[in-house]
Amino acid sequence: MNSILENNPALAAEIEKVAEVAGYLWQKGWAERNGGNITVNVTDQADEELRGRAPISEPIAIGTTLPHLAGRYFFCKGTNKRMRDLARRPMENGSVIRIADDCAHYEIVADNPVMPTSELASHLAMHEQMIASGNGYKAALHTHPIELVAMTHHAPFLKKDVLTRLLWSMIPETRAFCPKGLGIVPYRMPSSVELAEATIRCLEEYDVAMWEKHGVCAVGPDIFEAFDQVDVLSKSALIYIAARNMGFVPEGMSAEQMGELREAFNLPK
Ligand code: 13P
Ligand code: ZN
C-alpha cells in the first residue's frame, strides 16, 4: 500500500519536522540506541484517505482511559526504534495510530505495523492534558539530555525548584523561554502508568518534567517548540558545568536581574 504521506502534504510536513528534530536529538547525544520518543497529534492533518484506512493491527489496550482522545490520530516513534533512523525514514520507524471510541484502545493505521513507543502511556496522558486545557499544543517529546540527567543524581538538586532557579540564573533566555521551569518527577519505572500520572501532575505546574535519573518530557505547539524547551534548559546546564570545570561556582544572575526580566517579559513568579 502507498504511504499515507503521498497525497497529504500537510501530514508530510508534520512528519518532516519530527524527522528533523529526531536528527537533532541524535546529534546532541541525547538519543543513544532507541533512547527517547516523540508523538504528535496529527488529527488536524488526517484526511479522508487516512480516516478511511482499515486498521493494520488488533485493538491494543492503552492501560488507562483518556476521554479527550476518542478518534484522534497520533504519529508515534516506534518502540525500540532509533532516533537516527527516524530522522531518515520516519514512516519505517514510526506509525500513525487512531484512538478508539472507548478511549482505552488504539489501532495502528499507517504506514507499517510498527508498535508505538513503550512510553505511550505518558505521551497520551500529556496529549490528554494538552487537549483538556485547550492550549492548542500538539507535540510531546521525551529525551535523555546528558547533563540534565546527570544533575538528578545529586539529591540537593531534586528539592523543589532548586534546579529551576539554578538553570534560570545561568542565562536570561532560559528564564524567558522556560518561564515555568523544570519540575522533578521522582524515579518511577519507565513505561509505567504511575510515571505517566506523575508526569502530567508535574506539567500542571512546570514547562518541562524531569524524570529522575532517566530523562525529560516537554510539550509544545509543535515538535520544534518542545525541542527548544529542552535545548534552553540543557544550555543552562552546560554553562553551569563549564563554569564548574573552570574551577569556580558560577555566580548566577542576581535577584535584581531576574526581577527585571520577570517584569520585562511579563513572566510568572
Ligand atoms: P522506546 O524505544 O520504547 O520509545 O523507549 C525509549 C525510551 O527512552 C524509554 O524511556
Ligand atoms: Zn527514556
- pLDDT by residue (tens digit) across 47-92? 999 999 999 999 999 999 999 999 999 999 999 999 999 999 999 9
Tell me the CA–centroid distance for residue 209 and ligand 2, in Å: 12
Angle between helix 9-28 and 223-245 (nearest 10): 10
Reply yes or no on whether the pLDDT at 216 is more than 80: yes
| Residues with a beta carbon under 5 angstroms from ion ligand 2 | 215
Q: Which of 160, 139, 138, 157 is nearest to 147 (CA)?
A: 157
Ligand 1 near 119 CB (within 6 A): yes
Task: Compute CA distances 266 → 18, 109, 158, 166, 221, whole Å.
Answer: 31, 44, 27, 20, 20
Reply yes or no on whether the pLDDT at 269 is more than 90: no
Ligand 1 near 93 CB (within 6 A): no
Reply yes or no on whether the pLDDT at 227 is more than 90: yes
Torsion angle in degrees (nearest 10) through CA of 106, 16, 219, 129: -30
Q: How many CA atoms lie within 13 A of 133 on its CB side?
A: 17
CB 104 within 8 A of CB 65: yes
- For the full predicted model, state whether its pTM sits above 0.95: yes
Tell me the CA–centroid distance for residue 97 and ligand 2, in Å: 21
Domain ranges in the chain are: 9-265
Mean pLDDT of the chain: 97
What is the CATH T-level fold of the domain 9-265, as seen in this structure?
Answer: L-fuculose-1-phosphate Aldolase (3.40.225)
Q: What b/e sequence results for 170-206 when a residue is b if at least 16 CB atoms lie within 10 Å of its CB, and e otherwise?
A: bbbebbebbbebbbbbeebeeeeeebbbbbbebbeeb
Nearest atom of ligand 1 to the alpha carbon of 81 = 2
Output the pLDDT for position 89.
Answer: 98
Q: How far apart are CA 208 and CA 111, in angstroms?
A: 31
- Per residue in 121-147, pLDDT (tens digit) is 999 999 999 999 999 999 999 999 999
**Catalytic residue status for 205:** no
Given the residues 49, 107, 119, 194, the one annotated as active site: 119
Q: Which of 135, 152, 138, 141 is nearest to 46 (CA)?
A: 138
Ligand 1 near 80 CB (within 6 A): yes
Average of pLDDT values for 197-224? 98
Ligand 1 near 179 CB (within 6 A): no
Ligand 1 near 192 CB (within 6 A): no
Confidence tier at 268 by pLDDT (50, 70, 90): confident
